[in-house]
């Protein structure tokens, strides 16, 4: 049943409405209006009560230097985040909403406040809350050496300004009371006249805007120098923003404001002197999906003071390779005479570079050169901008200031604000949002009184009062609960920093006393200071105390380094972490192991004293998320006892899916005390005895637990390997978990626990050895201590001195980019368009040593001098706007009048029929305007069907239809705000009918589909070439004699196996967003959408709403990433919004939450391959030739067809990769399951096909006993070969075939054999660390395989001022398409690049467009644009001829206008018929020439191939499964690049994305492998908390990229090549390098005696599934510990495979 009762409408203002409707304002006839009014009245009475007690009720908020008017500040609600307030109420949209859970950093802002110091002996204080009270301790100024994103600046004797970056999506706006908020708009601007703030409140807007304009202009002016200098100043970007632009640090730009703000916070700390090591340590709270991070690292490093790290990788480039002697070749004094291979190769490389004009960037000298360029445009005062902007009114009164108390306006204002800030704050939400009440007490007594009054209370008669109270400090956990778990807290308390005991960090002679509300950043900083404190003690006792503090602080500090992110640590506190009682907390197990104690405070009576209760942390956790704390109690502090100065050791351990900003899979704290045996046992023996031991775990139970049985088994025992081995056995029994334990990974978690214990033993042995040596060094006459136990050298080197990555320094990331000197090359235009009529092509090359500096210089050159645009490494056209937050995305568009916000009604289960949808409960919610379902589409007369190929989808599911996936769209609810719309959609009552489906289950995995024969049978495609593969591969025995194509006889080796690959989430930083604006009585619709397919969006919005396409316009300016995910799966969101807009005749904005977007939009297809392959081994010379391949591919398409068939087709086209199989057979079967429809993703099936190939090559190499590199190189295509689908290689067919020569070049220049030998030597000497190397090639076909899609159009206007406007059918998602099109147009007209502008992609400018996909956009729209330009130039040629030589385009255009010449043109390009399209069903025509390749009659699926080779070297941690990529070198043939900087950026971004897919990005569904997730088929990985993309710390430590020279391509514009997708697969070189390292670990099993009859033979084949998560790495190594853990739960180590969703 469906109800569509009209809802409530309110006045809308500002971007997001900015409305604050009280209950009294609503005109609602519902029966419960009276109750709501009474509730509102009670809230108002409560506020008056507290106001009478001295509370203030209006927060004091400063944004970008201006005080918000009270009318605006009063809009801040208790349950409102700072991000929502900034975007919806203040109108500042530069700060982005990426995930809503603090996991991506797009929402980063800077919070600054004056703070008293509460850290005894170290600097720092927490951010959030206000307080100008007196301090109880004076602190030294922190130097930030290993601190966090905090700034201490002495504005008074005892206080300082504190700067901290925070996640605005979690940070409560009211926690910013008394603070200064800096957003990206306040940092710098691309505009000369800058206004930093706009306001939704029309009454206050003028005053606030003026105030902020004045503040920011004053700051900007002072930052750039005097007013005289400012006149001549050309750059209004902050140096950070400028560096990000010039180093190509942004692509889609959505994440860029957050990254700039994160860097801004770090540099604000150090006033421009930040060291690179500091940046590397703390740039851990932001994600980027486009760039691959390297250019961002370079931009940041270019601004840093030189700290002598020397690992910025550019240094390595300049010094040359490091030879076996350990000296960089170019620094060797014997360089000229040295004959080592490394030196000879390097000298040859240098000569080649000079001869070929190779350009390098990011080397140390060029970064230094850039610093000089940057310094010339920015004064040093830019670096103090954060301090300069801080309002004086927020500083404490200076008693020496004679203006205080006088008549000065400034002094009076400051005094008034100081007085107000000294008051506690209470804010009650009386609006329709019903956000509860916010308390900010100033004393501990006030805090405890509130807990006594409200803690645990509940009024059963008050429907609006859930009772109780919640204490909020950083809101990092409560924010998650309210947003995703929809928890409601009617009262929230945010304690002021003036409550000193909550924020102090005090070190006594016995313990650390850590205030429960002190930020984790403060704690980390305090620990760092204790660690690095010098022994400048006045006596021995103080030196001992210093040592004890250092040894206690070190494990706390090390664990905090990896605790969440800098933004989270800046506000999160230890008390909140403890009270939350997460079973996978990092800090709680460590505190348990340290013997920490909690102090709980309460005040039982209003007149009584404060009571304090002490509880050991180990006893505090009583169950899942339950603790031993009374409702009226508050955690006041944590007391951590100091460890002994020696012979007591503590170590933290952690393993997560990703090192940075990730929750742990298993975490642990371990502490042990040792004594010599003679002290313990009266002189018997000569060893160390375990006096006490404390081991605690997170991730091993529903709560933090102590390993009591394990600990007991160790007490009093000798400290040796035998004791710990026995303890591991006890631990396996103590922590045995069922296979379906919540969270899964039971075997891995047990293995980690046992591995941590072994690593702790190794760590303690090394520490004990050090202590004993130190004691001997102090005095030879002292007591002779027993020696430390002996451990094998290979274990000592691998792990004996570390606790894994937890204590290791974070790496320095960098690389060198090489590309041929820029030139303008002629490509396909010569054939299609004829010679250039303008004659501007300049074939001479121009060396541009630093792309950014060169681009800046060229833009200033005289317009009379021709400067080539094509070939230049120009920066992204929108780069400056990205970096200032001024680039507008769909959700940033200012709100039209009467805007409504939408929230989808989603199915909560699948494999059931939709019985009813009752929207009445939603319509009872104040502010909900309407709810629309399938019936409303029927009323509109629309067509509910959708789908890019098959119309098998629906906009809204009709009643009675089968729900096919969890999250299927049932309708949409619209309301006056986003929160209200979401509340409405959750309130909709949906019922399901499972009649007739009993006893069946949803088909989720590929295996399920195979078992149920659930396929799209009509799309099963097959490809054959050569002989009967089945017959060839089924000889009487596995090895027999066969003959190669050239007649060579040899032994046929046959292998058989399978390979599984998981899916991948697009994780574009900008979620799907649409704004639909109806006009003319909703007969016309204008859609602003984040989509790769404007025409498809236009088409289906028109169809579903029954509107003609001519009256529907879709506009798309830019996307915050797409990667194929917005090619088809964005359309449904626009359609839903269009239905609501059409019905209500009001604008509707629909922006999906990250969790919703990930749950329902699909992703990369998971694949399963089953294969049999054969190769012929020449027994004379040992050569191996591929002979036959039979492979069957299955992909998981989800419940709808979408693009599943074409994705599988491309996999079939790429399953050969670069290798020739004379006999070939492949079958592709698309599987239909109950997952969301899966769709296009960068590579479009090609990477999956090539992964299968490389897996098979590894398998054959093992079976044939030949090196994999040799097998690959010997079987690469030659010019005489053809692919299985009939395409040939060579200039006239697909262009140059460069892969073999590129392979040889990488193999030689990077000394691959030497690297493999070095890795083997490393592996020999390290038991628990292994290294692997992989070298992979790729060829990626460029074209849409559907012929009709290979077309594109462009509209070009030349204006009379000589500037050019281009509109084309492509869309900009960060790939630089618009920039390249601008370069093509600028080159054609011979004008500066800045004179060309690409407008938004709009269906009313260029109609009937195709999605921007298949890497084809530049090929299509570059040619179409050039076609239009040539048309205009041809028309203007007579005009030009009539003017004097050297006339400018402006002069030509102006005269052309008066001569009535049409200066607009529509260009069009289509790929030649004979170079695209493939008909799978076509048979060979009669008489088809026998000399043409087999299957060539079916078509020519690709125009050409983009080619590449990559080398990767990795190191894995055998004990945990952690890995790091030490080195990656990528060489790609991109033709003659139109923009080498953009192409390199695409290569790096694609590589890292491919690396992420193949190593850490694991999608999990509720399937047979994950029965602990409910309901079946539900997606579990729906946000950055559960789904991990690579972070800053995960990219290759050295990441080199080169573009191939002399690689012109005659089949594309300006001889370029497509680049967006081809490099993706090369990122899988990291996966295969990991596999190589795992194989090395498996080979080590023989030494441990692990081989058995049921075990794989050493070095034999194993299926290493993708992605190579830490679990798969660890469990594949097959060492004694993992084997024991698998066996302890009844498993078989040789056949064990971690679970996965495929």
> What are the residue numbers of the active site?
1621
- Using CB atoms within 10 Å of the CB of residue 1226, give its burial: 0 to 12 exposed, 13 to 18 middle, 19+ buried: buried
CA separation, residue 923 to residues 258, 485, 692, 903 (Å): 37, 22, 63, 13
Cα–Cα nearest to 1097, from 1441, 1404, 1484:
1404
- Using CB atoms within 10 Å of the CB of residue 308, give its burial: 0 to 12 exposed, 13 to 18 middle, 19+ buried: exposed
Cα–Cα nearest to 251, from 1546, 1622, 1629:
1546
Q: How many C-alpha atoms does 223 have within 13 Å on its Cβ side? A: 27
CA separation, residue 409 to residues 209, 406, 413, 725 (Å): 21, 9, 6, 75
What does the block give as tokens for 511? 């313990």
Sequence-distant (≥ 6) Cβ neighbours of residue 913 within 8 angstroms: 960, 961, 962, 963, 992, 993, 994, 995, 997
Cα–Cα nearest to 750, from 714, 799, 699:
699
Contact yes or no for 512/505 (Cβ under 8 A): yes
**Which residues face 1051 on adjacent strands?**
1041, 1177
Cα–Cα nearest to 1687, from 709, 1679, 759:
1679
Give the 3-state secondary structure of residue 1434: helix
Entry field: residues in the chain: 1702
**Which residues face 1476 on adjacent strands?**
none
Which DSSP helix (H) or strand (E) runs through 115?
A: strand 108-116
Strands 511-515 and 634-641: antiparallel
Q: Rounded distance, CA 1700 to CA 1702, Å?
A: 6
What does the block give as tokens for 277? 């090591």
Radius of gyration of the chain (CA): 34
**Which residues face 1339 on adjacent strands?**
1507
The single-letter DSSP state of residue 1470 is E
Neighbours of 1691 (CB within 10 A): 16
Which DSSP helix (H) or strand (E) runs through 1465?
A: strand 1464-1470
Give the 3-state secondary structure of residue 1586: coil
What does the block give as tokens for 215? 């503040």
CA angle 1635, 1639, 1640 (to 5 degrees): 120
Q: Rounded distance, CA 1107 to CA 1572, Å?
A: 46
Give the 3-state secondary structure of residue 1092: coil
Compute, in degrees rounded to 10, the torsion defined by CA atoms 911, 916, 919, 922.
Answer: -50
Q: Rounded distance, CA 1141 to CA 1087, Å?
A: 10
Q: Rounded distance, CA 552 to CA 555, Å?
A: 7
Neighbours of 445 (CB within 10 A): 14
Contact yes or no for 1406/1333 (Cβ under 8 A): no
Helix axes 1680-1688, 721-734, angle to 10 degrees: 30
Contact yes or no for 913/963 (Cβ under 8 A): yes
**Which residues face 656 on adjacent strands?**
664
What does the block give as tokens for 1295? 């262009």
What does the block give as tokens for 51? 């106001």
């Amino acid at each position: 049943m469906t109800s569509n009762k009209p809802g409530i409408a309110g006045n809308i203002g500002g971007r997001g409405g900015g409305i604050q409707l009280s209950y009294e304002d609503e005109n609602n006839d519902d029966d419960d209006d009276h109750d709501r009014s009474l509730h509102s009245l009670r809230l108002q009475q409560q506020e008056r009560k507290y106001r009478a007690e001295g509370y203030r009720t209006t927060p004091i908020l400063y944004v970008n230097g201006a005080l918000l008017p009270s009318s605006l500040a009063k809009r801040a609600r208790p349950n409102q985040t700072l991000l929502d307030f900034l975007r919806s109420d203040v109108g500042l949209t530069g700060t982005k909403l990426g995930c809503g859970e603090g996991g991506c950093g797009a929402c980063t802002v800077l919070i600054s406040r004056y703070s008293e110091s509460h850290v005894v002996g170290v600097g720092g204080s927490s951010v959030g809350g206000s307080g100008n009270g007196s301090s109880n301790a004076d602190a030294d100024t922190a130097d930030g050496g290993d601190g966090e994103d905090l700034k201490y600046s002495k504005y008074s004797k005892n206080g300082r300004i504190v700067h901290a970056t925070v996640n605005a999506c979690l940070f409560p706006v009211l926690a910013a009371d008394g603070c200064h908020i800096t957003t990206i708009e306040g940092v710098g601007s691309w505009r000369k006249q800058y206004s930093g703030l706009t306001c939704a409140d029309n009454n206050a807007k003028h005053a606030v805007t003026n105030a902020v304009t004045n503040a920011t202009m004053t700051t900007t002016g002072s930052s750039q120098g005097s007013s005289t200098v400012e006149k001549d100043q050309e750059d209004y970007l902050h140096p950070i923003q400028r560096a990000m632009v010039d180093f190509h640090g942004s692509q889609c730009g959505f994440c860029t404001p957050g990254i700039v703000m994160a860097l801004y916070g770090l540099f604000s700390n150090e006033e421009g002197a930040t060291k690179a090591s500091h940046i590397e340590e703390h740039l851990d709270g932001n994600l980027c999906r486009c760039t691959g991070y390297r250019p961002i690292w370079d931009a940041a490093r270019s601004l840093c003071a030189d700290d002598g790290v020397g690992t910025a990788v550019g240094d390595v480039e300049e010094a040359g390779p490091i030879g076996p002697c350990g000296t960089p070749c170019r620094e060797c004094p014997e360089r000229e005479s040295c004959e080592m291979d490394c030196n000879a190769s390097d000298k040859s490389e240098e000569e080649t570079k000079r001869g070929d004009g190779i350009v390098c960037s990011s080397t140390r000298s060029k970064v230094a050169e850039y610093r000089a360029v940057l310094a010339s445009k920015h004064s040093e005062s830019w670096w103090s901008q954060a301090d300069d902007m801080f309002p004086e009114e927020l500083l404490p009164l200076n008693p020496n200031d004679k203006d205080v108390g006088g008549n000065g306006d400034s002094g009076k204002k400051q005094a008034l604000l100081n007085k107000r800030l000294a008051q506690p704050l209470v804010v009650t939400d009386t609006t329709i949002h019903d956000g509860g009440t916010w308390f900010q007490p100033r004393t501990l007594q006030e805090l405890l009184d509130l807990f006594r009054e409200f803690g645990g209370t509940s009024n059963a008669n008050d429907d609006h009062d859930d009772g109780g109270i919640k204490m909020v400090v950083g809101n990092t956990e409560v924010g998650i609960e309210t947003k995703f778990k929809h928890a409601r807290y009617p009262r929230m308390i945010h304690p002021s920093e003036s409550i000193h005991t909550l924020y102090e960090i005090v070190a006594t002679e016995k313990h650390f006393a850590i205030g429960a509300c002190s930020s984790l950043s403060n704690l980390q900083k305090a620990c760092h200071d204790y660690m690095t404190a010098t022994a400048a003690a006045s006596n021995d006792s103080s030196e001992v105390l210093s040592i004890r503090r250092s040894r206690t602080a070190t494990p706390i500090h090390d664990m905090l380094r990896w605790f969440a992110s800098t933004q989270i640590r800046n506000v999160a506190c230890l008390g909140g972490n403890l009270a939350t009682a997460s079973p996978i907390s990092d800090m709680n197990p460590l505190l348990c192991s340290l013997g920490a104690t909690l102090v709980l405070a309460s005040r039982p009576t209003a007149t009584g004293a404060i009571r304090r209760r002490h509880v050991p942390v180990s006893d505090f956790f009583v169950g899942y998320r339950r603790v031993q704390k009374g409702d009226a109690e508050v955690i006041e502090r944590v007391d951590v006892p100091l460890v002994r100065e020696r012979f007591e050791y503590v170590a933290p351990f952690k393993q997560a899916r990703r090192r940075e900003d990730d929750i742990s899979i298993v975490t642990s704290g371990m502490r042990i005390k040792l004594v010599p045996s003679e002290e313990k046992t009266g002189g018997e023996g000569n060893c160390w005895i375990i006096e006490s031991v404390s081991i605690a775990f997170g991730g091993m139970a529903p709560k933090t637990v102590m390993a009591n049985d394990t600990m007991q088994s160790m007490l009093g025992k000798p400290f040796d390997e035998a004791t710990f081995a026995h303890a591991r056995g006890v631990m396996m029994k103590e922590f045995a978990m069922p296979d379906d334990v919540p969270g899964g990974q039971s075997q891995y978690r047990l293995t980690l626990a046992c591995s941590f214990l072994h690593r702790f033993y190794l760590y303690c042995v090394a520490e004990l050895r050090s202590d004993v040596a130190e004691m001997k060094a102090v005095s030879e006459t002292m007591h002779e201590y027993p020696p430390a136990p002996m451990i094998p050298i290979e274990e000592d080197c691998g792990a004996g001195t570390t606790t894994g990555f937890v204590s290791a320094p974070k790496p320095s990331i960098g690389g060198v980019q090489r590309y041929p000197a820029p030139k303008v090359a002629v490509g396909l235009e010569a054939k299609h368009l004829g010679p250039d009529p303008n004659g501007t092509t300049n074939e001479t090359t121009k060396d541009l040593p630093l792309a950014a500096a060169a681009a800046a210089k060229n833009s200033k050159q005289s317009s009379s001098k021709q400067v080539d645009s094509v070939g230049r490494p120009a920066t992204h056209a929108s780069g400056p706007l990205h970096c200032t937050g001024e680039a507008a995305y769909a959700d940033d568009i200012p709100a039209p009048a009467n805007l409504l916000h939408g929230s989808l009604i989603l199915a909560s289960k699948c494999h059931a029929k939709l019985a009813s949808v009752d929207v009445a409960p939603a319509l009872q919610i104040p502010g909900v305007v309407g709810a629309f379902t399938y019936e409303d589409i029927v009323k509109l007369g629309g067509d509910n069907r959708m789908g890019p190929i098959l119309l098998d989808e629906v906009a809204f599911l009709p009643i009675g239809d089968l729900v096919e996936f969890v999250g299927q769209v049932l309708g949409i609810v619209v309301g006056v705000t986003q929160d209200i719309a979401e509340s409405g959609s959750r309130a909709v009552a949906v019922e399901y009918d499972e009649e007739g489906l009993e006893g069946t289950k949803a088909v989720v995995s590929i295996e399920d589909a195979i078992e149920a024969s659930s396929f799209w049978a009509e799309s099963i495609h097959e490809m054959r070439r050569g002989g009967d593969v089945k017959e060839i591969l089924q000889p009487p025995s596995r090895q027999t004699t066969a003959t190669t194509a050239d007649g060579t006889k040899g032994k046929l080796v046959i292998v058989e196996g399978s390979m599984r690959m998981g899916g991948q989430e697009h994780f574009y930083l900008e979620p799907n967003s649409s704004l639909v604006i109806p006009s003319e009585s909703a007969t016309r619709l204008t859609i602003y959408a984040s989509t790769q397919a404007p025409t498809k969006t236009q088409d289906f919005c028109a169809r579903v709403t029954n509107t003609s396409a001519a009256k529907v316009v879709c506009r798309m300016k830019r996307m915050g990433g797409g990667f194929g995910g917005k090619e088809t799966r964005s359309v449904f969101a626009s359609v839903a919004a269009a239905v609501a807009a059409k019905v209500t005749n009001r604008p509707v904005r629909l922006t999906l939450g990250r969790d919703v977007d990930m749950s329902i939009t699909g992703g990369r297809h998971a694949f399963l391959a089953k294969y049999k392959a054969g190769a012929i081994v020449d027994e004379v010379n040992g050569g191996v030739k591929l002979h036959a391949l039979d492979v069957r591919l299955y992909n998981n398409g989800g419940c709808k067809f979408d693009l599943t068939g074409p994705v599988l087709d491309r996999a079939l086209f790429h399953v050969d990769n670069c290798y020739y199989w004379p006999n070939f057979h492949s079958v592709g079967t698309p599987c239909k399951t109950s997952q969301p429809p899966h769709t296009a993703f960068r590579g479009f099936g090609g990477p999956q096909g090539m992964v299968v190939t490389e897996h098979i090559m590894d398998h054959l190499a093992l079976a044939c006993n030949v090196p994999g590199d040799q097998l690959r190189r010997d079987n690469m295509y030659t010019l005489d070969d053809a692919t299985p689908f009939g395409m040939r290689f060579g200039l006239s067919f697909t262009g140059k075939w460069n892969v073999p020569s590129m392979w040889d070049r990488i193999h030689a220049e990077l000394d691959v054999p030497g690297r493999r030998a070095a890795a083997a030597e490393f592996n020999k000497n390290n038991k628990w660390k292994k290294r692997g190397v992989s070298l992979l090639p790729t060829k990626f076909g460029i074209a849409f395989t559907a012929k009709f899609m290979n077309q594109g159009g462009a509209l070009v206007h030349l204006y009379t001022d000589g500037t050019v406007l281009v509109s084309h059918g492509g869309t900009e998602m960060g790939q630089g398409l618009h920039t390249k099109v601008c370069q093509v147009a600028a080159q054609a007209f011979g004008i500066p690049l800045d004179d060309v502008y690409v407008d938004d992609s709009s269906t009313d400018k260029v109609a009937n467009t195709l999605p921007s996909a298949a890497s084809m956009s530049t090929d299509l729209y570059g040619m179409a644009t050039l076609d239009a330009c040539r048309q205009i130039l041809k028309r203007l040629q007579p005009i030009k001829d009539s003017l004097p030589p050297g006339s400018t385009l402006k002069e030509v255009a102006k005269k052309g206008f008066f001569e009535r010449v049409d200066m607009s043109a529509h260009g069009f390009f289509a790929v030649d018929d004979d170079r695209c399209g493939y008909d799978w069903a076509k048979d060979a025509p009669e008489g088809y020439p026998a000399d043409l390749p087999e299957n060539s009659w079916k078509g020519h699926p690709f125009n050409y191939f983009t080619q590449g080779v990559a080398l990767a070297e990795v190191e894995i941690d055998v004990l945990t499964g952690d890995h790091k990529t030490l080195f990656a070198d990528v060489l790609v043939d991109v033709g003659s690049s139109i923009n080498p900087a953009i192409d390199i950026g695409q290569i790096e971004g694609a590589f890292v994305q491919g690396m992420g897919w193949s190593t850490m990005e694991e999608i999990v569904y509720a399937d047979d492998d994950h029965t602990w997730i409910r309901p079946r088929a539900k997606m579990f990985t729906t946000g950055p908390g559960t789904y991990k993309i690579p972070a800053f710390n995960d990219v290759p430590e050295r990441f080199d990229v080169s573009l191939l020279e002399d690689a012109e391509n005659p089949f594309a514009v300006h001889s370029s090549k497509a680049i967006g997708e081809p490099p993706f697969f090369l990122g899988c070189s990291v996966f295969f390098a990991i596999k190589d390292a795992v194989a090395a670990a498996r080979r080590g099993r023989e030494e441990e005696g692990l081989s058995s009859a049921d075990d794989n033979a050493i070095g034999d084949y194993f299926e290493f599934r993708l992605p190579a998560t830490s679990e798969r790495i660890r469990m594949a190594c097959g060492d004694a510990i993992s084997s024991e853990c698998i066996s302890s739960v009844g498993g078989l180590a040789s056949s064990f495979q971690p679970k996965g969703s495929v």
